Amino acid sequence: MTTSRRVGANSTQVTKQGLVPHIVVKDAAAAIEFYAKAFGAKEVVRVPAPDGKRLWHAELQLNDARLFLRDEFEEECNADKTASPKTLGGTAGVLHLNVKNCDEAYERAIAAGATSILPPWDAFWGDRYAQVIDPFGHCWSMSHPLPKTQG
């Protein structure tokens, strides 16, 4: 279930759902543009940092879920223990998208600048499945169910 409330001086809207991934990137503004092109994300909230160059917080709508993201603040990495995959040299997880057509979603992500990890294939668990790395170092998977076979 998703609910919203008004917060802060700018009355930005924050969504409450059971689990919202919150990722850290270098250049959040560019990441928002990429996620719109690659995955059809829609920007919901953007809160600039005091320096006017980075984002403290952004919220995107992807399919029927939300994604929070923010710029990496190197001066805070030691305090909150968060850093971008570029700083870490990799990522600790995968963001998964349920899509209508895995092949089309994969091609759209590649055309937008993602790097292929695993091209679409018919996975043994019954999905058409693929993986890419976005230009900011986060790994994304995508899939759709394969038709059931009579056996």
User: With left for phi above 0 and alpha for psi between -120 and 50, is residue 52 left, alpha or beta?
Assistant: left
Whole-angstrom Cα distance, residue 64 to residue 98?
10
Is the pLDDT at 119 greater than 80, yes or no?
Answer: yes
Q: How many domains does the chain have?
A: 1
CATH number at residue 131: 3.10.180.10
Question: Residue 18: what pLDDT?
Answer: 82
Is 91 part of any domain? yes
Question: Residue 6: what pLDDT?
Answer: 35
Question: Residue 12: what pLDDT?
Answer: 46
Hey, which residues does 43 pair with through a beta bridge?
60
Reported as a pLDDT band with limits 50, 70 and 90, residue 113 is: very high
Whole-angstrom Cα distance, residue 124 to residue 51?
49
- Report the mean per-residue pLDDT for the chain: 88
Is 76 part of any domain? yes
Is 151 part of any domain? no
Extended strands (E) in the chain: 3-7, 12-16, 22-25, 42-48, 55-62, 65-71, 94-98, 115-122, 127-133, 139-145
Output the CA angle 62-112-83, nearest 5 degrees.
65
pLDDT, tens digit, for every residue of 41-95?
999 999 999 999 999 999 999 999 999 999 998 876 656 778 899 988 999 899 9
Mean pLDDT score, 3-9: 37
Is 150 part of any domain? no
Q: Percentage of residues in the chain with pLDDT exceeding 70?
A: 85
Is 34 part of any domain? yes
Domain that holds residue 12: 3-145
Is 62 part of any domain? yes
